[in-house]
A and B are shown apart, each in its own frame.
Chain A
């Protein structure tokens, strides 16, 4: 079965510092995709970054980077130079390639609080 595990229910980071949010995954598929989404208190899920299983380089999008370690089955999100607006829930998700629907399997999320 495919599964996403986020072991950090909550994290604090000082403004302008970097923070790493952990994500491990389990799948028997050789081709898969991993996503990170941000969910502010308003509720909308905002796409941050994507990593494909065959991508040789770690994905980067502005202040977001994904530390992809395939052998360890981890896909940690790194946020550099944290801002107060980064305070939100963060979800790691895996695209289910087995069913053909490409639905997402989400982790339980990490609540990040950026301190001034």
Chain B
């Protein structure tokens, strides 16, 4: 399967714990995006990588959130000191450099903070 993969698919954690999610984009895609989707809403942009450079971060990305994309391949999203409001689906997407190409999404990681 050469699509976007995300791990884990589900994560249940207690408030205050740290969690880390991983995204493996399609291999030739240099653009990588993280989105967050809460219940009943559309996905909202969190951050964007072009190769290994993080070029944009949303105001939704508080200082408890950090994302990396070492070597321009896979990416990780870490949430420190989780809060119940962090419960959501975290979606990763990738695309080629061409402006008109669609983004390919992974299956998402569903986070539940108790």
Contact = CB atoms under 8 A, between A and B. Distances in A.
Contacts of B102: 35, 47, 50
Interface stretch (B42-50, B65-73, B79-87): B42-50
A45 interface: yes
A46 B107 CA distance: 10
B108 A43 contact: yes
Interface stretch (B12-20, B21-29, B88-96): B88-96
B46 to A, nearest CB: 9
Interface in B27-54: 31, 33, 35, 40-45, 48, 50
Interface residues of A, number: 28
A60 to B, nearest CB: 16
Contact of A104 (B43, B55, B89): B43
Given A33-B100, A108-B42, A102 B95 contact: yes
A100 B97 CA distance: 11
Contacts of B100: 33, 50, 52
A33 B31 CA distance: 17
Which label, helix, strand, loop or mixed, suits the secondary structure of the B interface? strand
A44 B56 CA distance: 23
Contacts of B107: 42-44
A88 interface: no
Contacts of A97: 99
A30 interface: no
Contact of A99 (B40, B56, B105, B108): B56
A99 B107 CA distance: 26
A44 B43 contact: no
A103 B42 contact: no
B83 to A, nearest CB: 22
Interface of A: 4, 33, 35, 37, 42-47, 50, 52, 91, 93, 95-97, 99-109
